[in-house]
Structure 1
């Protein structure tokens, strides 16, 4: 018969666990993100210091540019109002902006804590308000329109540029545009009432609208800057938490590896130390059972000796399994590879297990494909694989059941060994458990003979050492099939004999 090779070893275990870990990680990150976002929204005021710091930095950076519109306005006023008024206005306006720059420099130099920024914020707003009074004076000049449209154009241009530049430079300071140009907008409205000329109304309406527009733009930019600070803080805190979690995880992984290595060393040492006296016990019990040195005297002693020998054999088997598993986990199990006959080893294993099967009235049969070529593998390991699978099947198959051993080709030109029983079966959710070291199933398995839970893990490990695949298929109340698959690379092709006529002349 042929058997289609399954996709992977232990697909449920391999596929489910990463998804579970990824799902847990995603849930953790999502929870941390939501918590940080909520905390950021609740404590947005804690970023007022950083926003004020950005405002101070912007003022200092624009310290050279701020006097330019003031000086240009002073020059224009000197033409329309005379040099004295223009000079006084220019000095006052420059003084206001100089005070803002000095305040910004002092604020940054003192490194003001977040809880103490409110007085500084009021101080900055007061400076902007004083500067705004200077521009309100310019907006109040309506009588000069009698001199011609030039002053109206000059007034509109200067005020529009100043409103826009203030909004762009100082947007991180809340309400800076309304406080700075609120009185200016009032004077512009008064000028519209005093001079109902359509051109004058249009120009001043545009300026009033500009104050409202740039106030909105400034607030939008401020909120955007605040949102950026909150998100940056969230990211920094999340990165810090992830780095902390990574450090904890690495430390836990290192401790787990050390504990696992210590466990493997301990099991290997203890197994060796226990096996040595056990061999002596088995030897002495065998000598006593055979009455080589004389009769035991009573039949009861003979029964005790047989029990001692059987218990010692069982304990030695457990110790050997523990030793094999610890060697495999420690990476010290070396394969002694050679050409072997898989069918012959399977039949030997069947003969060994037949006595145990007959004791439970289990029908033990074999189905093998003929003419299977040799397999490049470790004979002892392959024999252990087959014996463990057969022993497991006999252990969990009830009285009167049946077990079928199959050996044949896979669809991928490899070879397989399959042991199928009609026992109680294993729930799908417990298959990863029974494939783990010392894993035990639920009620169906506990009703059978007790074992160490190492048989299948050892089989799985030995198959993997041969670059093969192991699959456990089971259904409740229908039975279980264990399949060990050896890859095509380990199948030795049959070579023609040297005296084959087809080789003549080649």
Structure 2
């Protein structure tokens, strides 16, 4: 559709003029994305994982002491004596030191550059707790008389491994730091008991458990890292949207200010320009017609006529600009009344006959019979027909023909079409000539006078009447302008009493 093409052309023109602003917007959004993604990776991700590890230690402060108390209680009940109590006190003290370290880091905070340092400090803290579990691994209880005591120790150590793997998954090497030494200590103790297959099996289970729970911690760590990366990406997208929204709001504000300034300018200039122009037109007409007496010099008379013609041209230009501005601003009001398209077309043909005769152009009217009245603004419809006829006569060569048709559309509406046999318009230039102040290459080449406002005004006025405007043209074959008005514009009272044929627009 030509109207859609025209709108697209206008948008393209605006976009080309605002490329620097679009580049700025892209640069800002790209900078926000890069900055946030840089934060999401590298030291920032490691720092987030370290803080998650710190929070996990603080939340689970009572988990390990409770486990140690339970183990010590069972040991005392089994006959361990004071050795199990000493182990419990030493190990709980080590875990308390690790918890105090976590609380200190949570209060103090940490910069990205100190992340690696604090990771090593925490790994050192977990290694200290490994001393307590190594002590547990070498404990012996001959008085207990429990034959499967090595199995109990191995199960307890594996249970502690499982809890540590879950709690400290944000620092994946923590489980290795906390349980490598106990497993080695258990292995060395089992090596002294040669020939004990049960101890050998427990050693294998401990090493397998250490590797398994390290892999579990590694998987959990990777899942947390992916979650943090996705969160950072979401934050980046939110930042981009906020940036784009802020720039859009700023652009809308500037556009509203510019539109307000344009409205004020036009309101002021319409009065400031028309007042002196009316005086120029009046005095020049008086001089050209020699109302106050004859002018001896004929050149002066010609000058007066030229002044009057130029003034009328300038006044028409101002009126066109103001009409288009009012339409774009939604302030153009139409006074609907019943009228016949054919009658308006006949009046316009009569007005344009002299101009057509000067170029030896024949105007060929072709109106369908039985046309009904439509609800429309007479001034607007007359301006549509006059603008289209003026364009057709302007570009039709001497001796050519201009066809004007009025008829029914297939949908029950009415159409008006004006066709000439002029040079035509290249298809790619149709959106240009339908845009504001747009002129085709043929008009520019032939130095045809015009403002480039006629067709945009026609298109806008047709749209105000809920219609559609199309422009069809081929080079060296001519141009056809088609304005269609919907069925809803046809007056229903007449339509019920009079039948009418339906024809598709030419």
How high is the TM-score relative to the length of structure 2? 0.85
Partner of 2:262: 263
Confirm or deny: 8 A CA contact 1:373 1:491 kept in the other structure.
yes
Flag the 1:315–1:139 CA change in 2: closer, same or farther, 3 A: same
Partner of 1:452: 451
Confirm or deny: 8 A CA contact 2:368 2:406 kept in the other structure.
yes
Partner of 2:45: 47
Q: Aligned pair 1:245/2:239, yes or no?
A: no
Question: How many corresponding residue pairs?
Answer: 488
C-alpha distance after superposition, 1:117-158 (max 9, x if no partner): 333322211111111222233344689799555324422321
What SS does the corresponding residue of 1:66 show, helix, strand or coil?
Answer: helix
Shift of 1:189: 4.6
C-alpha distance after superposition, 1:444-499 (max 9, x if no partner): 5443513211112211221222222222333444433322221211111354999x
Shift of 1:402: 3.7
What SS does the corresponding residue of 2:480 show, helix, strand or coil?
Answer: strand
Structure 1 runs, 4 residues or longer, greater than 6 Å off:
24-30, 142-146
Q: Aligned pair 1:412/2:411, yes or no?
A: yes
Shift of 1:282: 2.1
Flag the 1:30–1:481 CA change in 2: closer, same or farther, 3 A: farther
Distance 1:184 1:275 in 2: 100
Is 348-357 or 27-36 further displaced after alignment? 27-36
Confirm or deny: 8 A CA contact 2:190 2:203 kept in the other structure.
yes
What SS does the corresponding residue of 1:377 show, helix, strand or coil?
Answer: strand
What SS does the corresponding residue of 2:148 show, helix, strand or coil?
Answer: helix
Shift of 1:37: 7.5
Shift of 1:380: 0.3
Flag the 1:376–1:281 CA change in 2: closer, same or farther, 3 A: same
Distance 2:69 2:456 in 1: 88
C-alpha distance after superposition, 1:94-115 (max 9, x if no partner): 0111111111111111123332
Shift of 1:17: 5.7
Partner of 2:224: 225
Confirm or deny: 8 A CA contact 1:69 1:158 kept in the other structure.
no
Distance 2:308 2:295 in 1: 15
Q: Aligned pair 1:378/2:380, yes or no?
A: no
Is 53-62 or 26-35 further displaced after alignment? 26-35
Distance 2:205 2:491 in 1: 93
Distance 2:170 2:442 in 1: 69
Partner of 2:491: 492
Is 278-287 or 309-318 further displaced after alignment? 278-287
Partner of 2:96: 98
Partner of 1:57: 55
Partner of 2:504: none
Which sections of structure 2, spanning at least 5 residues, go unmatched? 16-21, 498-506
Q: 1:56-455 counterparts in 2 under 5 A?
A: 56-78=54-76, 82-140=80-138, 148=146, 150-190=148-188, 195=194, 197-442=196-441, 445-455=444-454
C-alpha distance after superposition, 1:202-225 (max 9, x if no partner): 443233122112212212322332
What SS does the corresponding residue of 1:471 show, helix, strand or coil?
Answer: strand
Shift of 1:188: 4.8
Q: Aligned pair 1:13/2:7, yes or no?
A: yes
Flag the 1:349–1:495 CA change in 2: closer, same or farther, 3 A: closer
Is 468-477 or 320-329 further displaced after alignment? 468-477
Is 85-94 or 472-481 further displaced after alignment? 472-481
Distance 2:496 2:443 in 1: 53
Confirm or deny: 8 A CA contact 1:428 1:474 kept in the other structure.
yes
C-alpha distance after superposition, 1:272-319 (max 9, x if no partner): 322222222222222333223222223323322222222122111111
What SS does the corresponding residue of 2:466 show, helix, strand or coil?
Answer: coil
Distance 1:244 1:320 in 2: 42
Is 139-148 or 181-190 further displaced after alignment? 139-148
How high is the TM-score relative to the length of structure 1? 0.85
Shift of 1:429: 4.2
Distance 1:497 1:146 in 2: 112
Shift of 1:268: 3.3
C-alpha distance after superposition, 1:249-269 (max 9, x if no partner): 212211112212221331232
Is 310-319 or 286-295 further displaced after alignment? 286-295
C-alpha distance after superposition, 1:56-79 (max 9, x if no partner): 111111112221221233234446
Flag the 1:319–1:192 CA change in 2: closer, same or farther, 3 A: same
Distance 1:278 1:311 in 2: 10
Flag the 1:256–1:144 CA change in 2: closer, same or farther, 3 A: farther
Which sections of structure 1, spanning at least 5 residues, go unmatched? 1-5, 499-506
Is 191-200 or 155-164 further displaced after alignment? 191-200
C-alpha distance after superposition, 1:168-222 (max 9, x if no partner): 1111124111222222333455466555655444443233122112212212322
Distance 1:197 1:12 in 2: 93
